[in-house]
Structure 1
Amino acid sequence: MIKAFVVENDRLRPADGMDAEQDAIAWVDLYNPTRDEEAAIEKLLGVGIPTREEMEEIEISSRLYVEDGAYFMTATLPSQADTDEPVMSPVTFVLRRNLLVTIRYHEPKAFLAFPMRAEKAAIGCTSSDTILVGLLEAIVDRLADVLERISRDVEALSKDIFNPTATKASKRDRDFQVILKGIGRKESLTANMRDSLTSLQRLSGFLANATTQGKNGKDAKARVKTLSRDISSLTDHASFQSQKITFLLDATLGMINIEQNGIIKIVSVAAVVFLPPTLVASIYGMNFDLMPELKWLFGYPFALGMMVVSAILPYWYFRRRGWL
């Protein structure tokens, strides 16, 4: 699918047609294009565009390069970022003279929100390079929103770990299982955001050279510099969140170990407490003919009393030492 936009009064307007306004088109957005659509854009752009397989290559030289005066920049961006399982896929930006071409195979939210906003308000979309900078700013804002949501979710997980509401051990165990799954999802989401920010950080450095070529080069370069600082700060924030998630993982595993050790301690104490009564019962359960207490009137109560006392004494000793 092809979407084309022209600049009108510092705003974006959908083009009436590729042929009718070909010279005025400033931005062409290719979404999951067919081979015929790719050929049409290549004719308009005057240079070949990368295939999906080429976009997915991870080498810097395959993602950031100049060919016949066209700047090719590829970044990994998320879609469906409102969930804990976003779709990560590369998006290529091609900037040549007065034309911006974007090639993508998924639907990042910024590609829907930015054109709608640029149609309603004048946000400085005066040329292809300022459109690209504005689009990247919208993408970074979207990543910032995702990181803010991650921060809130991580804070909620922290409260669940250190202030559990369940009183029963079995309920706490189930809660910790849910928390572990939540931590795993947040770590995966944070890692995806860091990968995306890293690719954007490299792209912004490369873009600084491309924006100096346009007529609005000074303004665009200043915006790219601000964009780079925003990306750098978000990358640091994502790294901090990743460290915090790792700490929460260790804390959760530690709490689970404490719960398990408490259960094992109770079982061990119970075994020790009931060991002396078992010994007494074993002794008086022997079938010997000559046992002094066998015909004694108080033999049975005496044996029971010894069992009770032998159970109480270890329990009292453990409590005194603070082991219970």
Structure 2
Amino acid sequence: MLSLHGPEGALAPSEAGGAAVPTQAVWIDLNDPTPEEARAVEEATGVRVPSRKALSEVESSSRLRRLKNGLSLSTPMITFESTDSVLNPLGFVLTKDHLVTVRFHELRAFAEVRKRVHEGEEAKTGIAVFLLLMEELVDSLADSLEDMGAELDRLSTRIFDFDVRARPAKSDEAAPPRRRDLALRRILRGIARRGKVLGKIRASLLGLERIVPFVAGACEQVLAQEETDARFETIRRDIESLDEFETRLSENVQFLLDAALGLINIEQNNVFRVLTVVSVVGVPPTLIASMYGMNFKHMPELDWAYGYPYALSLILASAIIPIVVFRIKGWF
């Protein structure tokens, strides 16, 4: 889809030539463009519109390039679709007269910039629109990190209140093992999902962190723009602060993962403890029963009238005594 924006707001494609680009267009936004739309933009601007494959290159030399009459930039950018997060390439082709953006997913930052331009925000040059986009992209990532921080706080409460939450309502008894296992599985999945999202946010921040100083350094020389460095510096500082915030959140995710694994180890130890108690309780009765099951001719208890009740009582006592001892020690 092709969207055109001039200094005063949105523009319509020229009727002549179908998707032809008006000369007054400053910002040309291509969302999953068709070959016809890409050709029309190339004819109007004189620059090549990069493909999705080209924008997906990971080398710094491919993501930050100087062209004959401008700059070619690309970065991965996170977006949220339903309950999942997706990392798609985002491209910028910046010249003296135009800004061409190439994307393959909806981004809230683009809608906010269109709104700001419509409300009268200055967007007379491509670099002005580029700065607006950088500000909104950074703000969008900041909102995502704030939401992630709140989610991690809720997840932390679930983990450290696990024993309380795992108890049935109006009961002091622990929840069944199956229910506790399912709760721990949900916690682990929640930690994994948030860790994955943080990784994608970090990749987005890293891309913007490389783009901003590159454009600031080439702004006057390549684009012939006398833009002050104040806005570039503000964006750079915002990205640095978000980097630090993301690092703390990543450390928090690792801490919660360790805590969840610690809970799993405790649950496993509880199972092994029960098995140990059962095996210890079963050893003395087995020993007594096996002893009286031996086929020896001279066994005093065989001729004793109370030999059988005596053996049964001995077996029962040997099972009860360990249970009482373990109960007193609080093993179960």
After TM superposition, is the score higher than 0.5? yes
Aligned to 1:248: 256
User: Matched residues in 1 for 2:225 and 2:214: separation?
Assistant: 18
Per the TM alignment, residue 215 of structure 1 is displaced from its structure 2 partner at its CA by: 5.2
- 1:133 counterpart (131, 134, 137): 131
User: Matched residues in 2 for 1:296 and 1:123: separation?
Assistant: 107
User: Matched residues in 2 for 1:278 and 1:21: separation?
Assistant: 91
User: Matched residues in 2 for 1:14 and 1:217: separation?
Assistant: 24
Three-state SS of the structure 2 residue aligned to 1:312 is helix
Three-state SS of the structure 2 residue aligned to 1:263 is helix
Per the TM alignment, residue 199 of structure 1 is displaced from its structure 2 partner at its CA by: 0.4
Aligned to 2:11: 15
Per the TM alignment, residue 115 of structure 1 is displaced from its structure 2 partner at its CA by: 0.8
1:1-324 paired onto structure 2 within 5 Å: 1-8=1-8, 13-18=9-14, 22-79=22-79, 81=80, 83-119=82-118, 121-164=119-162, 165-166=165-166, 167-212=175-220, 213=223, 217-218=227-228, 221-318=229-326, 323-324=331-332
User: Matched residues in 2 for 1:131 and 1:179: separation?
Assistant: 42
Q: Deviations over 1:201-242 (max 9, x none)?
A: 000111212444565612xx2112111111111122222212
Per the TM alignment, residue 46 of structure 1 is displaced from its structure 2 partner at its CA by: 2.0
User: Matched residues in 2 for 1:258 and 1:123: separation?
Assistant: 58
Three-state SS of the structure 2 residue aligned to 1:89 is strand
User: Matched residues in 1 for 2:291 and 2:21: separation?
Assistant: 105
User: Matched residues in 2 for 1:293 and 1:124: separation?
Assistant: 106
Question: Aligned letter for 1:154?
Answer: L
Question: Aligned letter for 1:141?
Answer: D
Identity of aligned pairs, percent? 37
User: Matched residues in 2 for 1:305 and 1:21: separation?
Assistant: 99
Per the TM alignment, residue 192 of structure 1 is displaced from its structure 2 partner at its CA by: 0.6
Whether contact under 8 Å (2:6, 2:123) holds in the other structure is no
Q: Deviations over 1:57-78 (max 9, x none)?
A: 1111111121112121111112
130-139 or 152-161, larger mean C-alpha shift: 152-161
Q: Deviations over 1:55-100 (max 9, x none)?
A: 1111111111211121211111122x26452221111111211311
Change (3 A) 1:235 1:84: farther
Question: Aligned letter for 1:132?
Answer: F
User: Matched residues in 2 for 1:182 and 1:160: separation?
Assistant: 11
Question: Aligned letter for 1:60?
Answer: S
Question: Aligned letter for 1:201?
Answer: E
Runs of 4+ more than 6 Å apart: none
Whether contact under 8 Å (1:15, 1:21) holds in the other structure is no
User: Matched residues in 1 for 2:271 and 2:110: separation?
Assistant: 54
Per the TM alignment, residue 173 of structure 1 is displaced from its structure 2 partner at its CA by: 0.7
Question: Aligned letter for 2:247?
Answer: S
Aligned to 2:171: none
Whether contact under 8 Å (1:201, 1:231) holds in the other structure is yes
Whether contact under 8 Å (1:82, 1:146) holds in the other structure is no
Q: Deviations over 1:258-290 (max 9, x none)?
A: 111111111111111121112112222334443
Question: Aligned letter for 1:86?
Answer: S
User: Matched residues in 2 for 1:215 and 1:73: separation?
Assistant: 17
Whether contact under 8 Å (1:84, 1:185) holds in the other structure is no
Per the TM alignment, residue 4 of structure 1 is displaced from its structure 2 partner at its CA by: 0.7
Q: Deviations over 1:144-166 (max 9, x none)?
A: 12212222222222222221211
Whether contact under 8 Å (1:91, 1:102) holds in the other structure is yes
205-214 or 314-323, larger mean C-alpha shift: 314-323
Change (3 A) 1:198 1:21: closer
Three-state SS of the structure 1 residue aligned to 2:317 is helix
Question: Aligned letter for 1:242?
Answer: S
- Name structure 2 gaps, 5 residues minimum: 167-174
User: Matched residues in 2 for 1:228 and 1:106: separation?
Assistant: 25
Q: CA RMSD for the aligned pairs? A: 2.3
User: Matched residues in 1 for 2:183 and 2:285: separation?
Assistant: 38
Three-state SS of the structure 2 residue aligned to 1:241 is helix
User: Matched residues in 1 for 2:98 and 2:87: separation?
Assistant: 26
User: Matched residues in 2 for 1:21 and 1:171: separation?
Assistant: 61
User: Matched residues in 2 for 1:269 and 1:230: separation?
Assistant: 58
